[in-house]
Structure 1
Amino acid sequence: MHRLALFAYRLTVILLPALLCVPGFALNPNRSVSQYSHTAWRMQEGFFTGRATVVAQTTDGYLWFGTHNGLLRFDGVRFMPWTSPLGTRLPQDDIRSLRGAHDGSLWIGTRDGLFRWKGQKLVHISGISGPIIAIVEDRQGDIWVARGGPGDSQGSLCQIVDDKAQCFNQANGLPASLSGGESLIMDTGGDLWMGADHLLVRWRGGSPSLYTPPGLDSNSGVGIDALASSPDGSMWVGLDEPGHGLGLERLVDGNWAPFPSTQLDGSKLQVTDLFSDRDGALWIGTADQGIYHYYNGKVDQFRRTDGLSSDFISTFFQDQEGTMWVVTAQGVDSFHDINVTTWSAREGLTADNVASVVASHDGTVWIGNAGGLDSIKNGKVSSIREGKGLPGNQVRSIFEDQKNRLWVGVDNDLTLYQGGHFKKISRPDGSSLGPVSNITEDPQQNLWIESVQNKRLSIIRDLKVQKEISLSDIDPTRALAADAQGNLWLGVREGGLARFQNGHAEKIHFPHSMNSRVRQMIINPDGSIFAASSSGILAWKEGRTFVLGTRNGLPCEGINGMVGDEHSNLWLHASCGVIEIDQSELQQWWKHPANTVQFKFFDMLDGTQPGNAFYEPAARSKDGLLWFANGSVLQMVDPSNLIRNPVPPPVHVEEIIADRKHYSPLGLMRLPPLTRDLEIDYTALSFVAPQKMRFRYRLDGHDKDWQEVGTRRQAFYSDLSPGNYRFRVLACNNDGVWNESGATLSFFIVPAFYQTSWFHILCVIAAGSIFCIFYLAHLKRVTRRLQEQLAARLEERERIARELHDTLLQGFQGLMLRFQSVLKNIPSEGPARQMMESALDRADKVLLEGRQRVHDLREGSINGDGLWNDLALWGEELALDRSTRFSATIIGTPQPLTPAASNEVYQIGREALTNAFRHAFADRIEIEITYDHLKVRLIIRDDGKGMDNEILKRGRSGHWGLSGMRERAQKIGAQLNIWSHGGAGTEIDLSIPAKLAYQRPRKKFGWHEFKQRIMGHPGQESS
């Protein structure tokens, strides 16, 4: 293809692995490209709206793809068109080059200009125009670009300083005939190399060195499209046309040399791109032959017929995890190393119909295939094929005995392969043994052969069939093994095992193993047995049976084959993948068969191709490699060199969607009030196996614990309350390496006006005001009711006072007058007159006291001072004519009491004094009244005979003094306590809270007075 036509289909940018500072794992260069895991994203599948041209990776982990229709960002799952959050757009959608720099910026070369994207800001680089073909960052962090197109005075090589381009041209030593750069790289020594139409330029220290490939002397239309630096310091040079001195050349110490491999003629290639990966393997992109991979003299090819999206290669790129990216004319392909390697017809096997695999003592791996007996030794495949030494077509069972002889079942015959020849072993009558399904050897070196069709066992010794045993009662399933005691173990088709001993077969049944076909058995050194079956692992040990399957946590139960590694770990080739169980886990499982078993699992993303082999399904070679036959291809695992991805995946929160409105995660986000449905989109950037990424997240302010969400990349919340939130998300890669830092997003949901604090405070104030209004109204009603009750009571007191005055006192006064008349008729010297005068004096006192009581009933209450005086006078009167000593004490300043309180206190004190003088027989009786700001307290105590507990609780029969005292105390809200004990005296303690006892004095106008003005107050009149 002519160079100008080729220009429309390729982009020759080389991005060095030094792009990112986090080390990843590299590809195994000794493997062919077909043995890597391969994924293709094709245009026709809708991944790209325009043809992809270039790929780069920024330090945040994102992959960027340039296309003819714009820029795409890739997270391993989604290709998202790039748009600036600030609305800035690239003036050109035709992306020609990309570069992710160490400072986190992305350099974008378009058809007409260079741009830098960093920190949400897009900057146009001034001083440079035309198509930007390649971008390189040197060791000092400076950016260099190669301009394409026809030559001009501006120059083809430019350096970017302070967002301005400084280009170099003829004045700097570059030839005037240089018409534009086609490729640009930096070698291991830090020198820049630029390929142009007909020259190779090395730029060192500001001066150029020029080299002309030998084939360009007579081919002026051919250009240098690709460059790659070799670890030994040489330079690979790719030209866009084949021919002598063209195609793929190598520059060593200034001298040109052709491609140094007999497996590939470099002069026949149309090279579009070159890339030297981290291990020094060379990737060669061509215009019509796909990819060539070269390492240590070995060349292999991968093209469209192998699954490549196109045979035209635009560019290569290796990301931080070691994955190789290939941009083609029809899409993008990726290649990365895997733990389970496949060997198929493409690697040299006879066919993709692998039926069995056996490892011999010399390290050779023998493969039973359709049409050939294949072998692999030191990574090289050899085959003995039908018609070329193989006595048949289908190689079935293979076995190496204790004498290192190889036995091979081919079609219906058993043969011994020795010295490059096959020797057939026949039955005594000369007939064939039949299709051999399995072979084993006992400790006596007897060879046991199982025939598929004839249901019999044949015993071979000294290359002859010594005995044949019919298996009429047993239907074996192509699985034989002999233990150290000489017992022969067989897998039984209906499920379970059979032990053949001394000519008799004993069936051993297993739970949960009905109709489970046994495919392979292992006799362990301790005599226990493992059998791979469609129901899991059937195990037998010391007469006990076990089943290891999904009940123990295995991902599936269909086990095709199994083999132990050098550390006695058990490897299972299952219907869902390859499973490794550590020996320590097996030992624990033997002790506790119901336990969940920990294991490592390698699925299809790790290269596993599940299937069922017809005969020997698994083997371990001398070098420790594990081999599995799956009925179509052969697969290999190297337990000592398992690939592990050590790179924690960068985690990003991409956007937040609130009620279907999208927001970019920039700074502290403010979401509108009443946000109902919230979606947070996040991702993690690992491109080895994005499908195996695992996430956990937590929303501080809402979630109490981490949410384990598996592979889901969205978080959903609804009806979040207003406030501050912080969203945190963590992720792990395909090998379980977690990024513990993760990503965070802070946002604030603005409250509606009725969700604000001040609104809540106003509501509390309003509620309190309403409560106060209702309380004051209730208090007014209670006060009015009390006033009415008090008025009724006062009215009744006045009525009683009138009745007493008008009846009892008047009548008593009349009697006094009559007694006065009688007294006049009694001689003054007689004793009767003295007695009468004394009685009349006493009657006067009683009458005076009666009048006082009537006065009290009419006047209302006893004030504080009067209460003490009245009780003291009553006590002194009771003490007359008695030997009991009486004393009264007042503590504090007497204050006016409410009418109800003063009356009830007086009556309680009077009753207590009366009881003490009449019933206590005390030597001393005391009364004490205390006035303070908390309460009014009345104490009456004596040292008399006291009362027992029964009288204190219930009172004396027919007496109501104590009950009346308690009723009066309860009536005024007072607390009455009576302490007494037989022979220890009695103490009565009455306590009334100050707010219930005292009348409130008039104070300055305040809240209390305001309430009185509004509602009134008992015992006071409104002024």
Structure 2
Amino acid sequence: MSCDGNRQGPVVALLKRLIRAALLLVLTALLPGAGFAAEPTITDALRGFAINHWSLEEGAPSRINAITQSADGMLWIGGVDGLFRFDGVTFEKVGGDRRLIVSDILAARSGDVWVGLARGQGLLVYRHGRLESAGMPNPSREINDMAEDRSGAIWVARGGRGVLSLARLAGGRWQEFGAASGLPEQPVWNLLVARDGTLWVVLERAIYRLPPGCARFQPTGLGVTPRSSLAEDAHGGIWLSDREGTRRVARSGGGKIEQGQRLLHPEPAGGTRSLFDRRGDLWEATWSDGVVRVIDPLQRGPGSKVTRLGMAGGLLSSQTRAVFEDREGNIWIGSELGLNMLRRVPITVAPGIPANSYSTYRLAAAADGTVYAAEAAGVYRIAAGADPVRVMATRSPVEALCAAGADGIWAITHEAAFRITANGRSEFAKPRPFIAQACAQDRDGTVWMPALDDGLMHLRAGRWGSWPGLGPGIGDPANAVILPDGRAAIQFRGTMPAGPTPFVAIDRRFDHVGGIEGLLAGPGMLLISGATGLEAPMQPGRPFLDKARYPWTASLNGLAQGRSGDSWGFGDNGVFQIRTADLLRALERPGTAVAIRQFDFRDGLNSFVQKSGGSQIVVGGDGRVWFATRRNILMIDPEAIMRNSLAPAVMIRSILAGRHRFNAAEGLTLPAGTTRIEADFTATSLSVPQRVTFRYRLLGSDEAWTTVRNVRQGIYADLGPGHYTLEVLAANEDGVWSKEPARLHFSIARAFHQTLWFRTLAALTIGGLLYLIYSLRLRQVSGQIQQRMLARTHERERIARELHDTMIQGVQGLILRFQAVADHFADDPAAQAVLMPALDRAEEMLVEGRERVSGLRRADDRDLVSEVERLMSEQLNSPGVLAPLTVTGKPRRLLPELVDEVLAVLSEALCNAVRHSGASRIEVGLAFGSLSFTAFVRDNGIGISNVVELPGGREGHYGLIGMNERARTMKGRLRIESAAGFGTEITLRVPARFAYLPGDAPIQRKAAAESAAAAPDRKASA
């Protein structure tokens, strides 16, 4: 396109328009039928779409002016209430409490979001998580439109002014355009950057354009009305919508200007916003008359089908200003009372068949693939690739519909049975009235019609009959289906009388599924479905698919095989598609995992399955699947099912710690003491956000992934200070997962009591306290032992005094008296022979008594090693058996009261070894260790019996019991090791803190002669 452009003046352009109009009037007068094409009908705006909306009560903004989608997939909505982000679930207001009146929004390729404001507030840009001023000079009353060109420059249409109404931001610098650039002084309403790079500018009364590389705007010669808009189709054609209608004004390639024929009646205010969607349909938002959709205008031209959608058709309001298509193909409509979304769905309503029939809908597929449907007033034929066409009107509702062998179908009414084929129909009047619940023609040509209380009716070769033995309350036939071998299977609600039948009777004896709800012709077999699952009653082992493992198997009312190796089911859970091979595999090996695709109310289903006999779902010869609901007949075309291949973008929004919420940001540090967090995240899959699946994990706490559906929050507890990484993945409704997880690195600060120095100090403090407690306890125990020792010492001294003052003094007095008697009979040899030996023995007893008293008073000075040696020397009957005493370690002083206890234990052990062991060697040892004191007696004799070792020992023998009691008294432990024929070892071990005297100075061993030298002294003293 030349930069010279069309330089014709406005007068020339006006003359050309007048000439074209005059020629058009002449042609209209001369040629009948010439002129504008007949106005298309306005009908069925929502066919193929499901509509969702978010009202003001659900948090949506009101009076929406603009909608766009940023690079991260978030939907941006602007209006009188401000600026909002929307993830399909939650509306998030952007800008805080600032009063923003948004007139337009533009999502740039860089990820920035440009926000045009009204009331002279200028232009803002959302960048790096915050709104900031764009610094636009000379703000106008409002910004009407914005566009981004190939270079990334932002063009701004500034409304409410005629001078410098167009501005551009490029390279960080603003430039304003006016008359010097070729633009007339008019307000700018709309901007369009075409695929070829041309900038189209819609002014108040004209359209100008700026081709790539040109410096001046060129007039197009097109006159318009105010508030007009442009849209570009998939082939580069430019379309104009204004009060005169919608028409193409430029073709692709060279941008040749034309005056195309209009597609729509003139709108009161024209289309305020218009766009071509990815399928080529044209959408226009009007001020007050909803949204208009022109279906495929490029292919059909002026005869295109036009639909209109307003408040009566499901929108929240007919006052619409914004229309937008997101990257998943959903159409968003901003209205005065909230946000609307149109999503293409696979389930559509069968056109031409009345909805809400007062009788049950019926379906059947003929052998040639033609589908037939029936409602209260007629029967419809649905040929391959065509819409339903009524082929018969009925006086009464059709009660049953089924295939008629190789040609046509049977339609059963209250009065007759009709066979309908492509060549016409035949009527067979009923012999008596009955209500057929279903019908099925078997391989022999018999048409079976279960009729509950009226029994089982059948029609063969034009003759009516009924199966004998059935009647009110007997059998109650309710449904019928043809098996793969051509026989009919008849379901009975009661019990079928015994006897041979040409059909297969399925009665209550077959009910293992919680009540038979569906009698189904499965792939090569009969299936029955109920509240608990699906069963193949005639297969070996009667395989059963439990609803706990396969939820889709419960309460199925229809099953049909498709043309591409798949099966289609219909029940309380909606419609599902499954590979037939997978279904057979699951029936062969119940528990095998199978994949299904579910379709429900989010996919265009608008009512529930009928609970009645006959086929509820059929597949036509063209592969289309038809199913009957309580409201109407619906259809799915498997070839038209779209798969959402767009992986959702995942974002971590915030973290709640305690009562404070923190926006997600790298390097986020949560307060010290945080142990529980709630992480909020989202995914920008807008088609069916309720089916989005999330996986998340918190590295540093839990490495395992947690999978949830339609839950956008993760909760973690029992956290401590440290560094963590939260990872989140998401999958859309078709299971397409995001390639990389969203990550948030954050940390939890340490409280002062969680720092290393505090823990070290606390450990030292606790250790000191424990040591203090230990010391106090040790001092307490030592004090108790010392008290006992002092008490025993006092008792020994008392005993010593008593012995000295009573027995020893008395004995000494007696000796003196007997000595006087002996002296008196000094000359009597016979008396001397008697008295002198008695006196010598008395002297010995006196010396021994003095030694005992001396021992009691000198307990602190006793040498344990010497005492043990003396104890061993007293064992006179063990010469050569008793080995010398073994002493290990440097001898230390024992607490005084322990000496007697140790000697008592050793004495008992030594005596037992000498008397009972029969040993050839007995060893005694003492070990003065730093941690404990140990004494032992070891022999190589016959060992100790188990009975002796048991608690209590043998009756009348208390030696071992006494040793154990003495060991416990010393805070020690007695251990007995023995085996028959291998000797015995008895070991006494006492902890050092309970055994030794404080200070425990080494014992100075006294010479043995010291003890011997004391004997003359004692005798002399005596």
What TM-score do the two structures reach when normalised by structure 1?
0.73
Unaligned runs of 5+ in 1: 1-30, 1004-1023
The answer to whether the 8 Å contact 2:368/2:407 transfers is: no
- Per-residue CA distance 1:528-553 (angstroms, 9 max, x = gap): 33468899878642699899786775
Which amino acid counterpart does residue 604 of structure 2 have in structure 1?
G
The secondary structure found in structure 2 opposite 1:256 is coil
* 1:1001 corresponds to 2:999: yes
Please tell me whether residue 307 in structure 1 is matched to residue 314 in structure 2.
yes
SS in structure 1 of the partner of residue 387 of structure 2:
strand
Change (3 A) 1:411 1:306: farther
2:136 maps to which of 127, 133, 136: 127
Query: 1:471-870 to 2 correspondence within 5 Å?
Result: 473=470, 479-483=479-483, 487-492=487-492, 494=493, 508-510=507-509, 523=521, 526=524, 528-530=525-527, 540-541=537-538, 553-554=550-551, 559-566=556-563, 569-584=566-581, 586-587=583-584, 590=587, 599-609=596-606, 610-612=608-610, 617-630=616-629, 632-639=631-638, 642-652=641-651, 654=653, 663-666=662-665, 683-693=682-692, 711=710, 732-737=731-736, 741=741, 748=748, 764=766, 768=770, 771=773, 775=777, 778-779=780-781, 782-783=784-785, 785-800=787-802, 802-803=804-805, 805-808=808-811, 851-864=850-863, 867-869=864-866
Q: Which amino acid in the other structure matches residue 624 of structure 2?
A: L
* Amino acid aligned to 1:63: L
State whether structure 2 residue 89 is matched by structure 1 residue 71. Answer: no
Q: Aligned partners of 1:913 and 1:435: how far apart in 2?
A: 111
Structure 1 match to 2:127? 118
Change (3 A) 1:407 1:656: same
**Corresponding residue for residue 282 of structure 1:** 282
- Structure 1 SS opposite 2:856: helix
Residues 251, 332 of structure 1: alpha-carbon distance in 2 compared, 3 angstrom cutoff:
farther
Checking the alignment, whether the CA contact within 8 Å between 1:58 and 1:101 is kept in structure 2 is yes
Output aligned runs, 1:215-230, within 5 Å: 216=223, 221-222=225-226, 224-228=228-232, 230=233
The answer to whether the 8 Å contact 1:900/1:972 transfers is: no
Aligned pairs (5 A) from 1:7-22: none
Cα shift at 1:800: 4.9
Q: 1:884 to 1:649 in 2, by over 3 A?
A: closer
Is the contact between residue 290 and residue 308 of structure 1 (CA under 8 Å) also seen in structure 2? no
Q: 2:163 aligns with which of 138, 142, 152?
A: 152
Alignment check: 8 A CA contact 1:628 1:634 kept:
yes
After TM superposition, the structure 1 = structure 2 runs for residues 955-994 of structure 1, keeping only pairs within 5 Å, are 972=970, 993-994=991-992
Residue of 328, 333, 340 corresponding to 1:326: 333
C-alpha distance in 2 between matches for 1:853 and 1:1001: 28
Describe the SS at the equivalent of 1:900. helix
CA 1:95–1:983 in structure 2 vs 1: closer, same or farther (change >3 Å)? closer
Distance in structure 2 (CA, Å) of the matches to 1:46 and 1:988 = 87
**Would you say the 8 A contact 2:50–2:344 is kept in 1?**
no
Write the letter of the residue equivalent to 1:790: R
- 1:1018 maps to none
1:692 to partner: Cα distance = 3.9
- Cα 1:376/1:285, change in 2 over 3 Å: farther
Q: Report the identity percentage.
A: 23
Aligned pair in 2 of structure 1 residues 956, 847: CA closer, same or farther (>3 Å)? farther
62-71 or 752-761: bigger deviation: 752-761
Q: Residues 413-456 of structure 1: CA distance to partner in whole angstroms, max 9, x if unpaired? A: 6556667x64543559xx99999886654435566688999978
Superposed CA deviations along residues 712-768 of structure 1, whole A, max 9, x for unmatched, are 5567899x7876788776655434556683676967598799999699769957975
Cα distance change of structure 1 residues 489 and 596 upon mapping to structure 2, 3 Å threshold: same
* C-alpha distance in structure 1 between counterparts of 2:684 and 2:260, whole Å: 37
Aligned partners of 2:278, 2:688: CA distance in 1, in Å? Answer: 20
Q: Please tell me the residue identity of whatever aligns with 2:171.
A: V
1:240 equivalent in structure 2: 242
- CA pair 508-276 structure 1, distance change in 2 beyond 3 A: same
Are residues 1:336 and 2:340 paired? no
Q: Which residue of 2 aligns with 1:93?
A: 100
Between stretches 61-70 and 837-846, larger displacement belongs to 837-846
- Residues in 2 aligned to 1:964 and 1:502: alpha-carbon distance in whole angstroms: 97
Residue 156 of structure 1: how far off its partner (Å)? 1.3
Equivalent position of 2:30 in the other structure: none
Q: How many residues align?
A: 931
Residues 819, 884 of structure 1: CA spacing in aligned structure 2 closer, same or farther, 3 A cutoff? farther
The Cα shift of 1:891 comes to: 5.4
1:892/1:932 contact within 8 Å kept: yes
Q: Distance in 2 between matches of 1:522 and 1:956?
A: 85
How far 1:55 moved relative to its partner?
0.9
Please list the CA deviations of residues 993-1019 of structure 1 after superposition, one character each: whole Å capped at 9, or x if unmatched. 54444333289xxxxxxxxxxxxxxxx
Q: Following the alignment from structure 2 to structure 1, what is the Cα–Cα distance between the partners of residues 325 and 886?
A: 106
Q: In 2, are the aligned partners of 1:302 and 1:308 still within 8 Å (CA)?
A: no
1:59 to 71, 76, 97: 71
What is the aligned partner in structure 2 of residue 292 from structure 1? 293
- Separation of aligned partners in 2, 1:118 and 1:955: 91
Closer, same or farther: CA 511–751 of 1 in aligned 2, 3 Å? farther
1:95 and 1:758 mapped to 2: Cα distance? 59
Counterpart residue type for residue 314 of structure 1: R
Offset of 1:906 from its aligned partner?
5.8
Instruction: Please name the residue that 2:234 is paired with.
Output: 231
Q: Deviations over 1:352-384 (max 9, x none)?
A: 649334445666544435666544456443635
Q: Does 1:210 align with 2:214?
A: no
Contact 1:561 1:574 in 2 (8 A): yes
Asked if the contact 1:43/1:51 (under 8 Å) is kept, the reply is no
Question: Is the 1:34–1:302 contact (alpha carbons within 8 Å) kept by the matching residues of 2?
Answer: no
1:161 aligns with 2:171: yes
Q: 1:472 to 1:165 in 2, by over 3 A?
A: farther
d(CA) in 2 for partners of 1:979 and 1:515? 72
Question: Equivalent of 2:113, from 98, 106, 113?
Answer: 106
User: C-alpha separation between the residues in 2 aligned to 1:641 and 1:955?
Assistant: 94
**SS of 1:252's equivalent?**
coil
1:225 Cα deviation after fit: 1.5
The amino acid across from 1:339 in the alignment is P
Deviation track 1:845-867 (CA, whole Å, cap 9, x = no partner) reads 88766644443333334454xx5
Residue 242 of structure 1, CA deviation: 0.7
Deviation at 1:132, TM superposition (A): 3.0
Tell me, yes or no, if the aligned pair for 1:652 and 1:682 is still in contact at 8 Å: yes
User: SS of 2:184's equivalent?
Assistant: coil
Q: Distance in 2 between matches of 1:951 and 1:538?
A: 70
Offset at residue 688 of structure 1 (A): 1.9
Tell me the alpha carbon deviations over residues 632-666 of structure 1, each in whole angstroms, 9 at most, x when there is no partner. Answer: 43211234554333445445555566776655445
The change in CA–CA distance for 1:497 and 1:653 in structure 2 (over 3 A counts) is farther
What are the ranges of 5 or more consecutive residues in structure 2 without an aligned counterpart?
A: 1-42, 1002-1022
Measured after TM superposition, the shift of residue 52 of structure 1 is: 0.4
Distance 2:809 2:873 in 1: 30
